[in-house]
Chain A
Amino acid sequence: MNLSQTFELESGSTRSNQPYICNCACASREVSCSSPLPPRRLSDLRRRLHRRRLSPHLKPFAAQPLCHRLRSSEIPSRSPAFANRNSGALLWNLQHLVVALEQIKIQTMAGYQSNTYNNQNNMWNDGSFGSYNVQHYPSYSASCASSSQSSSSIPGNNSHLQYQYNQWPTYYNHPTSSVSAPATEHLSTNPPVHSVAGGYPYASSQPPPPGTTSWGRGSSASGFPTIQGTAEVAGQNLSSVWEARPPGLQMQQITQVSSYLQKPLETNPVSDNSEDQQKNIVTQGSNLQLSSTNKVSEKFQPPLQTVAMMDTHRVAKIQIPTNPRITSSLPLATPKAEKEIPMNNATLKPAYINVSVSKLNNKIPSHDDSEAIFKMETFPPSLRAYVERTFARCKDDAQRAANKNLLKEMITKSSTDGTLFTRNWDIEPLFPLHIAISDKADQNNMLNSGTVSLSIRKRSPTRRHKSRWEPLPEEKLAEKLTPASNEPAKGANWNQISETETVADTRKHEPKDDGWGRGKFFASRQQNSLNKVVQRPVKKPRFSDTVLTENADGSSDSDKEQGLTKYYSGAMALANSPEERKKREHRSKRFEKGQNHSVEYKPYSPKVAGAGNFHSRRASSLMPAKNNDSSSSKSVEDIDRHALTVRGTCQEIEKCYLRLTSAPDPATVRPEDVLEKALQMVQASEKNYLYKCDQLKSIRQDLTVQRIRNELTVKVYETHARLALEAEDLPEYNQCQSQLKNLYAEGIKGNHMEFSAYHLLCMILHSNNKGDLLSSMARLSAEAKENEAVKHALAVRRAVLSGNYILFFRLYGRAPNLNACFMDLHVEKMRFEAIRCMSKSYRPRVPVAYISQVLGFSRLTPTEESAELVDGLVECEDWLKAHGAVLTVDDSGELQMDTKITSSSLYMPEPDGAVPHGDANLAVNDFLTRTS
């Protein structure tokens, strides 16, 4: 009772409290036996809260810069979008961030309230958060000395019970946090959680794949709170065990032994928690704050954003692998715990049922529609038509609700970026609603797969709005789950799904922020009725605030949520059924395979999913991206390229290069191991350069589209660069060289020295830019200067710049690697220059034999001297004649070059391969003859 009152008061709104109060009553009944909160304390607390809210620290900006910094460090490109959306959601998220940065927590709350930037959302934020933080922290203050500030804000002697109570709301959001930003933030507010995270030995064992880091972190972050939650749960359910629990928790995390926490797991509904815990272990647990920030900004993206989708997608994946452990752990449940569960469920259920209004579902869509239409009045007719079109597709209320929600996001986005009136709505593609819906089911399964999904079963079919979209009847939930998750093909639309989901389920509560909504959604799934009771009151204020902003939905919120909660709580019980367990195990096994490449759409298992699925998945993922594309210029950069990263499935080793004109198709992209074979094939190939170049280009393309940047990539580029050099294909060589430069700069190992020598040679021989040469010389490390190839390149540079032909051709004779290939390109020039020099400085004649020797026509190797000399002589003679030198035979019969006449008759003949357009490389036939 007291508690419910407190919450009500804090919420600053008395609207639609009824259900919560009910729950609270329930909860207090349960809990009161352990330790009721003294009324005096409550009032004290209330007063403090009140005072704080009125405190004169109006510093909304103090928080903002911090957020900025955090965000920018993580995802700079996104910042403009972030800044532009000064919506309630932004505020809300900001506030969360701020909460995460504990120091300014209190001031910010106050500041927001009184600040001009604040709209009605303040109240909402304040309400929910106020209660959160204040209560949340005290609990930690006991265990964590570091949170002194927070403890100061609240009477330190809160009862243990209250601690738990308060904890719950937070906890509830956490499990969801994988999807929802707000929950993520909470993590960071939990100092103990942090420390736990730090201790994970496993964090590093499962690093998120490159490029996906942020997501990984995000999800991991979300996991932490759960841990906390678990602890709490344990405490609540096994109040006597409570003290002992936390250590146990830690241990489990460290050892990752599933058996450890069995107790809490079984104890209750909380199997969910254990899953989350494992999730923590799987993913990396660093940078909580950063990840949360990241999350926040992500959440602002329109629902169709691929980025966000990936997010959810990944989360799901991460979660799933842990399932087997969970399931295995379940049997270990202590009898006591088991006993408790049913009891909780039994007692608490009634409360929900009473309150829930199943009719709401029908009502809400109409609400939305009307609201959307209402809004449309100010919109261009084309947009209105568009909206109508989208609604026309909807087959039922839930779809309509989903549709409306998506629309709202779209419109909000386009109005914030100013494309609302400029965009051509007539050609705007309809977002894929059906996919979203079916995906939604998938996602639920994925996300819930552990314990959460269980709740689905228990819930009565009528409650589940989603069920209408699903192919299978509700009654067969168990069967349904598997097929649904079997179709990751649709997974591309994760975010969309979640959006839709939010619409149907929780969206109503928080139209502006799905994260929250989902948080609740999940929370409610945790059928632990006690917790729920606590949670309700906290959330309520938010709803009432939402009402202010949204004018419509508020009243239905609580009811709706109730229904959901019920639905999910019911499902929990099902989760433990043996067949479901089996299924989950099966699923998780599949996903474990894939989890290494979390971000890409990957073949979950070719057998199950088949290539076709990839296509459809890709298609659906691209669709939202396309939408974004057309929706605004800004959104172009918002598209996360990671979302377009493919995971190839092609097993063919040989593949022709074709420049992509559309997004890559995974079915034609080869995975890394195949590429490696392809490279070996090319290296061993006897075919001509053109073939090899084509093959290598296709390998490079496959590497690029899959964002593979490792030693294989370096090897491919090095191979191609060498081949290109041998074939004197400089354009191709330059491409490789510039890529290699970046790859080496990333620290990937390769033949760095060899290629820095090539780079130098390229500079010397093919560009007249002394500045570039100087700077690349200046950049050479001391180590590089000791390298033979680099030394050689530097010596060549000296020879070329001073015109020292003797030196040049000597260096040519002992060129390491392919340095000679570069020198080849310069030989003609060097010879001509040398002849000019000789014809000017020598009198009266120079023997051709000497010329042949010093200009590299013949190599004087002692063994083959005679043979080579002759060859060289003939060649040299031809060359000299071709360049206009005048040759005579002197008295001794030796061929001589008459320097005096030659000096005036020398000319540079047109190169052999000269073509009218100037670039011999463009003449295909020449090129073919040269390279084949």
Chain B
Amino acid sequence: MAYLSMGEAHRRITDYLSCFSAALLSQDGPSLTPLLLVSSNSPLLLSVAHALDVFSEWPRLVDQIDDQVQLFAEIVSPLLRCLQSFRAGQFAEAYVSFEKSANAFLQEFRNWESSWAMAAMYTVAHEIRILAEKADKELALLGKNPEKLQAAGSFLMKVFGVLAGKVSKRVGALYITCQLFKIYFKLGTVHLCRSVIRSIDTARMFDFEEFPVRDKVTYMYYTGRLEVFNENFPAADEKLMYALMHCNPQREANIRMILKYLIPVKLSLGILPKLWLLEKYNLIEYKDIVSSLKSGDLRLLRHALVEHEARFLKSGVYLVLEKLELQVYQRLIKKIYIIQKEKDPSKAHQVKLETIVKALKWLELDMDMDEVECIVAILIYKNLMKGYFAHKSKVVVLRKQDPFPKLNS
């Protein structure tokens, strides 16, 4: 970077401090927010960070500022230190400083009656998460316990408590919730989401429709994902559909994220996506699964699951997709039934177990009678197939009308 004179550095830091001070005093949210964007590449903050390096006695300047706000120094000093460490690539230190600053800010924020600093609070919540992620990455590389994200989670819980407690600030609660979701999903501690969800869903003080759309979409996306984990497909479908319908149609990445979960949910409900949708949003990993559902090709399904196992495991839809196996069996038996019907409509409702075993053999799936019998029993048990199985004669006896009911009925 270009040479920076001491005086210039001094000026920049002082400018920053006075901006900060002025914003707090005049309760000017829009001008405060950009001063908090530590992890952004805003030229303002870059230059300040540079100045901090040059003018190492900047803490003196902080003391000099005539602060009307009580915790001004407690907010700004660690913030500047954070800025400095962040630019030096020391994320763990940056995080620690930022958390200090954020705590002081939260304390001030608690005292402000109006919600003028809501945007700034959003920024703090976002920044702390970003910094914590970076810090954890750094700590993990150093072989240390990456616990910063967890710490950020507990800080955000505090923020949530502050926001939920006041009518004027309630609008912000959902944003914090979403940041919390992101942390919990990243940490794999999704069970922690439950308490937040409960207070959002059940507490009367929240009118869900009052929240900003962006937060509602994010919230629905994450709660939908949680329902996928719980294999509660109708609820998951509802939430993810809400997210899909309300999200910004320009943001294809977001749509893709929603579809990634919505497609398995819809498949489980027996609704298959069009091929062009998968192609448009680059979700071709579902292509084989969809076609296996159409054709009853169990082998194809298994193959697809093996091929994309890592991806499906990571996104958490593996178990959902695995369950589609039964639907594929159903499709296979249905096909046998249709063929039999064409041949001899009067005996079509009786499907011999041998036939199914033979069909599976053609798919290079070697299953013995007992196994197939078990599958058939499960199909009937799970209402994928109407009828009964006669053990003695090893025949599946299907109901005369509509032996393969629709899943989503």
Q: Which A residues have a C-beta under 8 Å from some C-beta of B?
A: 58-62, 68-69, 72-73, 76, 116, 769-775, 777-778, 798, 801-807, 836-838, 840-847, 850, 854
Contact = CB atoms under 8 A, between A and B. Distances in A.
B218 to A, nearest CB: 19
Contacts of B313: 774, 777-778
Nearest to A854: B370
Contact of A777 (B318, B388, B390): B318
Contacts of A69: 90
Contacts of A847: 391
Contacts of B370: 806, 854
Interface in B106-155: 142, 144
Contacts of A73: 142
Contact of B323 (A801, A836, A850): A801
B229 interface: yes
A82 B377 CA distance: 70
B188 interface: yes
A213 to B, nearest CB: 14
B314 A771 contact: no
Contact of B389 (A58, A116, A842): A842
24 contacts: A59-B56, A61-B56, A61-B57, A62-B56, A68-B93, A73-B142, A770-B229, A771-B316, A774-B319, A798-B322, A803-B378, A804-B374, A805-B374, A806-B374, A807-B371, A836-B381, A837-B377, A840-B381, A841-B376, A841-B380, A841-B389, A842-B388, A846-B391, A847-B391
Contacts of A773: 319
Contacts of A846: 391
Given A771-B188, A841-B379, 5 more contacts: A770-B229, A775-B188, A803-B381, A804-B375, A837-B377
Given A774-B313, A840-B381, A841-B380, A850 B374 contact: no
A843 B386 CA distance: 13
Nearest to B376: A841
Top 4 nearest A-B pairs by Cβ distance?
A841-B380, A843-B388, A778-B313, A806-B374
B326 interface: yes
Contacts of B198: none
Contacts of B323: 801-802
Interface in B30-64: 56-57, 60
Given A770-B319, A774-B319, A58 B57 contact: yes
A343 B300 CA distance: 96
Nearest to A798: B322
Nearest to B385: A841
B391 A769 contact: no
A61 B52 CA distance: 11
A778 B230 contact: no
Nearest to A897: B391
A775 B381 CA distance: 30
If over half of B's interface residues share one DSSP class (helix, strand or loop), that class is named, otherwise mixed; here it is helix
Contacts of B190: 771
B231 interface: yes
A846 to B, nearest CB: 5
B397 to A, nearest CB: 8
A783 B316 CA distance: 22
Contacts, number: 90
Contacts of A58: 56-57
Contacts of A802: 322-323, 325-326, 378
Interface of B: 56-57, 60, 90, 93, 142, 144, 188, 190-191, 229-231, 310, 313-314, 316, 318-319, 322-323, 325-326, 370-371, 373-381, 388-392, 397
A801 B378 contact: no
A850 B392 CA distance: 11
A198 B112 CA distance: 60
Contact of B144 (A76, A116, A807, A836): A76
A854 B391 CA distance: 13
Contact of B391 (A777, A798, A806, A845): A845
Given A802-B325, A840-B380, A840-B381, A778 B314 contact: yes
B191 A778 contact: no
Contacts of B388: 841-843
Contacts of B310: 778
B371 A806 contact: yes
Contacts of B373: 806
Nearest to A770: B229
A68 B380 CA distance: 68
A298 B98 CA distance: 28
A69 B85 CA distance: 11
Contacts of A769: 191
A72 B85 CA distance: 14
Contacts of B371: 804, 806-807
Between A801, A806, A837, A847, the greatest number of chain B beta carbons within 10 A of the residue's beta carbon is seen for A806
B6 to A, nearest CB: 10
Contacts of B397: 843
A61 B60 CA distance: 12
Contacts of A72: 93
A738 to B, nearest CB: 16
Nearest to B145: A76
A838 B376 CA distance: 10
Contacts of B144: 76
A805 B191 CA distance: 30
B125 to A, nearest CB: 24
Nearest to B90: A69
B391 A807 contact: no
Between B310, B316, B326, B379, the greatest number of chain A beta carbons within 10 A of the residue's beta carbon is seen for B316
A765 B142 CA distance: 36
A770 B230 contact: yes
Contacts of A68: 93
A776 B201 CA distance: 30
B378 A804 contact: yes
A487 to B, nearest CB: 40
Contacts of B392: 845
A841 B373 CA distance: 10
Contacts of A805: 374
Given A798-B322, A841-B388, A774 B316 contact: yes
A846 B326 CA distance: 23
Contacts of A838: 377
Contacts of B379: 841
A836 B378 CA distance: 10
A807 B373 CA distance: 11
A787 to B, nearest CB: 16
Nearest to A57: B56
A263 to B, nearest CB: 45
Contacts of B191: 769, 771
A807 to B, nearest CB: 7
Nearest to A79: B96
B377 A841 contact: yes
Between A771, A840, A843, A844, the greatest number of chain B beta carbons within 10 A of the residue's beta carbon is seen for A771
B374 to A, nearest CB: 4
Contacts of B380: 840-841
Contacts of B230: 770
Contacts of B57: 58, 61
Nearest to B60: A116
A68 B377 CA distance: 67
Contacts of A806: 370-371, 373-374
Contacts of B381: 803, 836-837, 840-841
B391 A850 contact: yes
A724 to B, nearest CB: 26
A595 B373 CA distance: 69
A805 B376 CA distance: 12
A836 B377 CA distance: 10
A842 B392 CA distance: 10
Nearest to A64: B56
Nearest to A773: B319
A847 B392 CA distance: 9
A69 B96 CA distance: 14
B42 to A, nearest CB: 24
A60 B58 CA distance: 12
A846 B391 CA distance: 6
